[in-house]
Amino acid sequence: MDLPVEFLDKYKNILGNEFEEFLKSFDREAVSGFRINPLKNLSSIESSDYEAISESSFGYYGKISGKSVEHVCGLIYSQEPAAQVVAESAGVQSGMKVLDLCAAPGGKSTHLLSFLGNEGLLVSNEISHKRSKILVENIERFGARNVVVLNESPKRLAKVFTQYFDAIILDAPCSGEGMFRKDSDAIQYWSPDYPQNCANLQREIVEEAMKMLAPGGSLIYSTCTWSEEENEDIVKWILENYPNMKLMNIPKINGQSEGIDMPEVVRCWPHHFLGEGQFVAKLNDRRDKVTDKKIKVGKSKLTNEQKKLWDEFYKKNLLTDFLSAGILQVFGDNLYFLPEGLPDLSKLKIARNGLHLGVFKKNRFEPSFALGLALRPEEVERTLEINEEQFRKYVAGETLTIGECISNGWVQLVINGNGLGFAKFVNGVVKNYFPKGLRFSY
């Protein structure tokens, strides 16, 4: 691999005797990995076919197909091993309020949702409008019910979420040195000044993140680069400017290394760790926790007609009461379920306002694809099990002719114990409701 001379000189000076092994690692193939989703029925996955990542809650080595049943239904998520270290180190627990500040494409957010387990709240934010669409797609496939996706700047978020979050994950925009092996295009963006330019932006983002951290909360700061300017120097800056913050030790496993003159943090060097490059630091706020204050919630009430249509659908098709622990909001003709405890989001750009339940149409309510992914089969009145051949036809946009004799109406399509969205069954035919933008052929 053709690496910049200035880059080579820099890391020869830092790594000393280890530099040659570090350099050889760039000629090896990038390491692939994935995670399993504990929110889904995983009975169809043969974990024995893959090597588990040691001391990882959900991680495995190996490549997965984006066209597989397991991927389309959200049972697995592709994420290389070093990137999995971020959420694994965060210590997020069920019931917490968590912010993933720079979230696209969704690897960290879906990982955090695995630890939250549909309890508490995740706000997943991505400033890029284009990348936020990918983030929404990945989160919907994962099937979580306690996540809101925003498309905002950190500065605007801080005005709404002042001292709000128990944990903030900031995987900051960086020079991307740790991705050189995986994405050679990243090399083209690098220059000797680039790490310092990134560090200037990182400090600005940290300043806004600190405004949103609740007393007693945790900031997890990470990058996918090895630059000291963007890593240890940023941590030192945080400790100097925020004396309430304490740097916590992250146990080193699987070949992870200590930082440069900073043993508490984690560095993933490719000649030690089976994965790409990553830096992770965890800092705890030492201020006393405060009792949750009352928060003004923006409500958008259903009209009488909308309430009637929703109630009719709910009573006829759903066997769950999870919707009682949240808020229903209408935006246009779309109905969403929001977790409790959110502030008024009306002044923010929203990419996905909680779980999309469906859309109101003339004299009827039409359930969303997202709802059919989020519900377990036992939570739905009428399900229809399909096989893999029928799955292939359905994701390609075809209707399905079914020999079974069931009454007309909405059904949740199910394969291997997991939902594939709702579809309309009419006189022996399953009409296709698989989103057009997601369709593919084999």
pLDDT at 48: 73
Owning domain of residue 403: 382-442
pLDDT at 298: 58
pLDDT at 320: 92
pLDDT at 292 over 70: no
Same domain, 280 and 391: no
At 296-339, the pLDDT tens digits run 655 678 999 999 999 999 999 999 988 877 889 999 999 999 98
73 is in an annotated binding site: no
Same domain, 184 and 313: no
Confidence label for 289 from pLDDT (cuts 50, 70 and 90) = confident
Q: Mean pLDDT, to the nearest integer, of 116-134? A: 97
Same domain, 223 and 310: no
Nearest in space to 72 (alpha carbons), one of 389, 418, 385: 418
Same domain, 301 and 430: no
Angle (CA) 75 34 68, round 5°? 45
pLDDT at 429: 94
pTM of the model: 0.96
Number of domains the chain is built from:
3
107 is in an annotated binding site: yes
pLDDT at 205 over 70: yes
Confidence label for 117 from pLDDT (cuts 50, 70 and 90) = very high
Same domain, 275 and 327: no
pLDDT at 299: 64
49 is in an annotated binding site: no
Chain centroid, CA 187 distance in Å: 26
At 41-91, the pLDDT tens digits run 999 998 778 899 999 999 999 999 999 999 999 999 999 999 999 999 999
Is 300 domain-assigned? yes
Is 377 domain-assigned? no
At 211-223, the pLDDT tens digits run 999 999 999 999 9
Same domain, 368 and 399: no
Per the structure block, which two tokens stand in for 140? 């919907």
198 is in an annotated binding site: no
Torsion over CA: 426, 430, 435, 436 (sign): negative
Please say which residue of 372, 407, 430 terminates a domain.
372
268 is in an annotated binding site: no
Same domain, 76 and 110: yes
Identify the three-state secondary structure at position 289. coil
The CATH number of the domain holding residue 76 is 3.40.50.150
pLDDT at 407: 86
At 240-262, the pLDDT tens digits run 999 999 999 999 999 999 999 99
Please say which residue of 285, 313, 336 terminates a domain.
285
105 is in an annotated binding site: yes
Same domain, 201 and 270: yes
What is the set of active-site residues? 224
At 392-420, the pLDDT tens digits run 999 999 999 987 668 899 999 999 999 99
Confidence label for 295 from pLDDT (cuts 50, 70 and 90) = low
27 is in an annotated binding site: no
pLDDT at 197 over 90: yes
At 232-242, the pLDDT tens digits run 999 999 999 99
Per the structure block, which two tokens stand in for 239? 């400790």
Same domain, 253 and 324: no
The CATH number of the domain holding residue 333 is 3.10.450
The CATH number of the domain holding residue 424 is 2.30.130.60
Residue 353 half-sphere exposure toward CB, CA atoms < 13 A: 23
Same domain, 63 and 151: yes
* Burial category of 402 from C-beta neighbours within 10 Å (exposed 0-12, middle 13-18, buried 19 and up): middle
pLDDT at 270: 97
**326-331 and 59-61 beta bridge pairing:** unpaired
pLDDT at 204: 98
